[in-house]
């Protein structure tokens, strides 16, 4: 059985097909983004209302003094003329509200 050339030919064809098809079928990971390319945005503390400028992330950030995850992306309220807690980052990005701090 092991001396049959059809077995070895079939095995080599399967390996070659896998080598050619797997990169096409398995999605590649997106390239890593350098830290300096991630924009800085304004965050507001949901408890105290303090405003901070930090690099954009998808999760709530810890407050610098309390350590509690209370910093959320901020949205500027034009009626109140101050920064207020905004919706989740995905919603802000869709609405065009997530802009770099300048």
**Is the pLDDT assigned to residue 4 strictly greater than 80?**
yes
The pLDDT tens digits of the residues spanning 6-27 come to 888 988 998 988 888 887 787 7
Quote the CA–CA distance of 102 and 25 in Å, as a whole number. 42
pLDDT 10s digits, 33-44: 776 777 788 899
Q: Where are the alpha helices (DSSP H) in 26-96?
A: 89-95
What is this structure's pTM? 0.58
């Amino acid at each position: 059985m092991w001396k049959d050339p059809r077995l070895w030919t079939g095995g080599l064809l399967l390996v070659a097909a896998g080598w050619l098809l797997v990169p096409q079928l398995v999605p590649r990971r997106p390239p890593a983004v350098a830290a300096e390319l991630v924009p800085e945005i304004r965050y507001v503390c949901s408890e105290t209302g303090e405003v901070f400028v930090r690099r954009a992330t998808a999760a709530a950030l810890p407050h610098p003094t309390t350590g509690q995850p209370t910093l959320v992306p901020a949205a500027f309220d034009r009626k109140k003329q101050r920064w207020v807690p905004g919706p989740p980052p995905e919603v802000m990005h869709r609405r065009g509200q997530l802009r770099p701090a300048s």
